[in-house]
Amino acid sequence: MRPSEFEYHKADSLEQALALLQEFGDEGRPIAGGQSLVPMMNLRLARPAHLVDINGLGLDTIEKKDGVIRIGALVRHERYLAEPLIIDNFPAFIDGVRAIGHPTIRRNGTIGGSLAHADPTAELPLLCMLHDGEIIAASAGGERRLPATRFFEGAYMTVLEAGEMIVAVELPVPPASSSGAFVEMAERRGDFAIAACGVTLEHARGRVTRAAVACSGAGQTAMRAPQLEEALEGLELAHPDAAAAIAAFTETLNPPDDHSASADYRRALVGQLTEQALATACSRAMEAS
Amino acid sequence: MTQQMDRPKHIGARIQRFEDTRLLAGTARYIDDIRLPNMLHLRFVRAQMAHAKVLEIDTEALEDIGFPTQVFTGADIGDLSIKAHQDYPEMQYSEQPLLARERVRFVGEAVAAVLADDAYQAEDAAEMVFVDYEPLQVVTTMDQARDPEVPGLFDGWRTNIFVERQMKGGDIAQAKAEAAHVIKRTYTTQRQAGVPMEGRGVAAEYDPASRMLTVWSSTQIPHLVRTYIAEELGLPESRLRVVAPDVGGGFGVKGQVFPEEVLVPWLAMKTGRPVKWVEDRREHLTSSIHARDHSHTLEAYVSEDGRLLGLKADISVDVGAYSTFPFTAAGDPGMAAKVMPGPYDFQHYEATFRALATNKCPIGTYRGVGRPSAVFAQERLMDDIANELGLDPIEFRLKNVVRDFPYTNALGFTYDPGSYAETLEKMRDLLAEDRAAAEASSNDPDKRIGVGLACFVEQTAHGTPDFTRRRVPIETGYIAARVEMTPDGQALVDIGLQNHGQGHETVMAQVAADALGIDPKDVHVRHGDTLTTPYSVGTWGSRGGALGGGAVHVAAGRIADKLKAIAGHLLQSDPQKIVLQNGIAHPEGQPDRHVAVAKLARTALRNVDQLPAGMEPGLEAQYSLDGPNDGTYSNAVHAAVVEIDTKTGKMQLKRFVVVEDCGTILNPLIVDGQVRGGVVQGIGSAMLEHFIYDEDGQPLTVTFADYLMPLATEIPEIELHHIETPTPLTPLGAKGLGEGGAIGPAAAIANAVADALGIEVTKTPLNANALWHLARQAEKNRAE
């Protein structure tokens, strides 16, 4: 449980970090909170020859500009819980953050790290997909904007290339008449979830006008549910009975079947959590309006 | 054995643990804190296949690694091994070589030992050793192990059964013939790891000047480790010292002698340099010992009016690849067979028990040893019988528990007085409201409340005959203590226990202080070092308080007698009437006519001219206390109240209640802590912990991300109630206590789940996935 040998580099500027990452290519990894990378290194599942410490780069602001909230890659999870821009606009996001790990993880872990690690049932990948987030990745060659829905390729796999690192995430600010909720089921508090679901709603005159649903636990990455989202349009907030549409959605799922949970259980759980998240989102919408 | 305390002052007091200052301040010293000059660090290359021939071990890559390394393999160690044989003719012997020779039998078995100057280098180097394997047929299930067509794990074996035996008493055929009801069920408990916070670790150093070999090991049994090393390496035991420094938990895991504990000193002698090995968590989970993994088929014979007439048991345990020392492969199945009659009064019993060999980590002792599985089966069965007969589960138990003591059970074991009915009655009162709530919830389709309990006895502090019967290499179970006073009137207690969380440094001080009339703070308890402590079997089997405390009491009592004689002489008073308390000695009823205990100590050790004529100078006494023949039986009732969300499988433990009786309570704070800690581990057994192998024998749960331990967030407030029935069998009336907490929870929680969902529960762990499937099955059963 000791990492293989690596060289440590402290970057003083983004340019320097990107230059180092370009130089090291596949052999280099940025490190910030280390909540995922360090355990992987100790297990020697990851063995970067060079670590580029990006903690000194700033990249830790949460700003609102032109209808989007921009979250720097180094923002630590616990920050959201005291951040009005997030609390006021993204109730599902806040629910999700509360479910992340333990106090130490929430204090040290960063959004860039969580997204780049891409655990199949981590909260932040799901939340960024739910909120139509865009992930901004930089390299010495320039920046790429990557929709969260196309960022994750599989368990612990993303479209990031060697020499590239996440610098920010942008979430479009939802309209005033919107709501959301996130629910997850984990064996113990703070564990990676068996399954999770987030729902956001825009609504008018007591009905859903637009819905987003993202869930994890049904595959190697979190996923959106476009058909279900469509089916939820027009749903009455006061009677959020979408059992049939949710069942139609879960029937299409082909979740993993392994020692910790059967495929049947995961499928049913995704449906159940979706129902719960939807019900909470609807009741929050009713309370607000 | 009587001589019980008449005027305890410190015994029974709620004293905070003295050792906690050291533990909480971070000044405790563990194996990993040991740094010796010129020390080599050891890293193992461990088997990656479950069953394979070792064709080649290739160390060529180490030539270019850039730092010095040394590698030792099975070819270097001759026939050094762990031998754990029971003297039964039908026992098939297994030897676990210190490093695999020619064949590996489980993933994680040590294949090569790699030494380097630091731990990072050793780990880098171990990675560069390539082992070429030829796969052999893997045995991973009990059925495969019992299949005579499957080749044996060891040359010359018939089938993969270490041993299969029977225990019986009474006439089971008669019970069956008289029975109005025959109820047969199979119950299984999953494989677990033991998981103390500190893993294993061994360091060794040979000093040619004194010809002393010193071995530091994170062990519960330093003297047994010393004897094993001496015998295996052919060393004089008088030149061998084993030290267990601060040990970060053991729970029985560190109650075996492991191959590493013999190999590390061998390497230190071979290389002429100190060697240290500290296990990492993955090694601990795959390569130390595992626990549980039982399957019990029980057939109960019950009369028309709900009385148990007899019980037939068939007990299989998947004990993995090797027999472990000193409790052997038959330890777990034998224990389950022995304790299965439990607290119930019936005289016809027959058990067949077997230890099955598979390509998995060996099973060893872990808190409860066989009893958590036995009590799970026995107490699930009691509920299933009550249910089938339409009886209230508490009333059914009350009808059948032993009430007249001493009681001799079907196997001939005699139970000393306990409080089986009283604990049940107390629990019945405590649960009344919850049982009503559970009844009311039975119509709620989503949230179901259930109440379940487990009633059990625990044979503790068993004496030598119990081990002789088992013919296991542990051989005996006594604990020795030596008490010495220093000229300032303080006391040293050197005890053959090893304190790794039990509070011995406090409890033994309380016991000695009461005997000597001094303050417990003035007693220094030392343990865990064979150089300073008298030979004993170490800390396991719930004997520390009962036997260790008893031994201290007797030894300190002998010193007290001498102090009284000196006091009588100095005060011109009858020594028989001298009282020692609050640091002074005085004739009974005359506290003003006193002499300080410190003065008496100084007289005995320094101013010996003032001793009574002919009295031997010195203040030292030693006593070895063996356990009662059949042990002393603690008893408890555990109860769980659960709420299950049938749609998600989420279970909340709303309440966990313990009513227990461990005889005389020596320190209530420590008793509560022991019970709580055990219950938490039992909750882990019931709901979370599961060590899983796939069909190729590959372990799937090798980190804490997959092997789930109970966390504080999942544990409710544990409510404790005590009844004290002192045993006449130990000097202080104390019974064993350490393991009991872990024994009841799986049964109690499973019974609560069965009650909540209205379905028979036959196995653990009851995690969310299992509960969701049980809820679906219950739904289906209701629909049919």
**What are the pLDDT digits (tens) for A212-252?**
999 999 999 999 999 999 999 999 999 999 999 999 999 99
Whether the CB of B171 is below 8 Å from some CB of chain A: the reply is no
Q: Give the pLDDT score at B650.
A: 97
Distance separating alpha carbons of residues B286 and B131, to the nearest angstrom: 18
Q: B281 and A1: CB-CB below 8 Å?
A: yes
3-state secondary structure of A2: coil
CA within 13 Å, CB half, A71: 30
Residue partners of B117: CB distance under 8 A and separation at least 6: B40, B41, B67, B68
Residue among B688, B714, B773 whose CB faces A265 most closely: B773
Average pLDDT of the residues in B515-531? 98
pLDDT surpassing 70 at residue B6: no
Q: Could you tell me if B119 lies within 8 Å of chain A, comparing CB atoms? A: yes
User: Do strands A28-31 and B103-104 pair parallel, antiparallel, or not at all (unpaired)?
Assistant: unpaired
Burial A259-276 (b: 16+ CB within 10 A, else e): ebbbeebbbbbbbbbbbb
Residue of B nearest to A192 (CA): B705
* Confidence at B2, pLDDT banded by 50, 70, 90: very low
What's the confidence (pLDDT) of residue B7? 59
C-alpha to C-alpha distance for B766 and B752, rounded to whole angstroms: 11
Residues of B in contact with A268 (CB under 8 A): 647, 772
- B615–chain A Cβ distance below 8 A for any pair: no
Task: Give me the architecture of the A7-53 domain, per CATH.
Answer: 2-Layer Sandwich (3.30)
- Contact check, Cβ <8 Å, A268/B772: yes
Test A190 with B708 for CB contact under 8 angstroms: no
Q: Which of residues 221-280 of B touch A (CB under 8 A)?
A: 280
Question: How many residue pairs bridge chain A and chain B with CB atoms within 8 Å of each other?
Answer: 61
- Written as one string, the DSSP assignment of B267-292 is HHHHHSS-EEEE--HHHHHHHS-EEE
Give the nearest chain B residue to A189 (CA atoms): B713
All domains of chain B in start order, with CATH: 20-28+478-625 (3.30.365.10), 34-136+195-287 (3.90.1170.50), 290-464+628-783 (3.30.365.10)
User: What percentage of chain B carries pLDDT values higher than 70?
Assistant: 99
Where along chain A do its domains lie? Answer: 7-53, 60-172, 178-288
CB-based contacts of B119, cutoff 8 Å, min separation 6: A2, B41, B43, B278
| pLDDT tens per residue, range B228-248 | 999 999 999 999 999 999 999
pLDDT of B1? 39
Say yes or no for a CB contact (<8 Å) between A265 and B124: no
- Chain A residue numbers with beta carbons less than 8 Å from the beta carbon of B692 are 259
Question: Which among A104, A260, A275, A276 is the top mutation candidate for probing chain B, defined by the most B β-carbons within 10 Å of its own β-carbon?
Answer: A260
pLDDT value at position B4?
A: 45
Judge: A185–B648 Cβ closer than 8 Å, yes or no: yes
CB pair distance less than 8 Å for A260 and B705: no
Residues of B with Cβ-Cβ distance to A105 under 8 angstroms = none
Q: Which of B290, B282, B401 is nearest to B341 (CA)?
A: B401
Q: Does A194 touch chain B (CB under 8 A)?
A: yes
What spatial distance separates the first Cα and last Cα of chain A, rounded to whole Å? 54
Question: Which residues of chain B lie closer than 8 angstroms to A272, CB-CB?
Answer: 647-648
Nearest to A260 among B120, B769, B772 (CB): B769
Q: Is the pLDDT confidence value at B3 over 60? A: no
The proportion of chain B whose per-residue pLDDT surpasses 90, expressed as a percent, equals: 96
Q: Is A45 on the interface with B (CB under 8 A)?
A: no
Look at residue B444 in the predicted model and tell me its pLDDT.
86
Give yes or no for a cis peptide into B68 (omega within 30° of 0): no
pLDDT at B277 over 70: yes
Whether residue B125 contacts residue B114, with contact meaning beta carbons closer than 8 Å, is answered with yes
ipTM, interface predicted TM-score of the complex: 0.96
Dist. CA A108–CA B724, nearest whole Å: 49
Q: Which residues of chain A have pLDDT under 70?
A: none
Nearest CA in chain B to A188: B714
Look up residue B324 and give its DSSP letter: P
Q: Which member of A259, A269, A272 has the closest CB to residue B700?
A: A259
Q: Would you tell me which CATH number, out of the four given (3.10.129.10, 3.40.50.300, 3.30.465.10, 3.30.300.30), belongs to the domain A60-172? A: 3.30.465.10
Total count of residues recorded for chain B: 784
The burial class, CB within 10 Å (0-12 / 13-18 / 19+), for B560 is buried
In the predicted structure, residue B271 carries a pLDDT above the cut 60 = yes
Using a CB-CB distance cutoff of 8 angstroms, which residues of chain A are in contact with residue B653? none
Substitution target from B191, B769, B777, B779 for chain A, most A beta carbons within 10 A: B769
d(CA A258, CA B688): 16
Question: Cα(B711)–Cα(B683) distance, rounded to whole angstroms?
Answer: 10
Mean pLDDT computed over every residue of chain B: 96
Contact status of A261 with chain B (Cβ, < 8 Å): yes
Higher pLDDT: A184 or B440? It is: A184
Residue of B44, B694, B772 to mutate, interface with A, max A Cβ within 10 Å: B772
Pairwise CB contact (< 8 Å): B711 & A268: no
Find out if CATH 3.30.360.10 is the number for domain A178-288.
Answer: no
Q: What is the pLDDT of residue B442?
A: 83
- Examine the pLDDT at B768 and tell me if it is beyond 90: yes
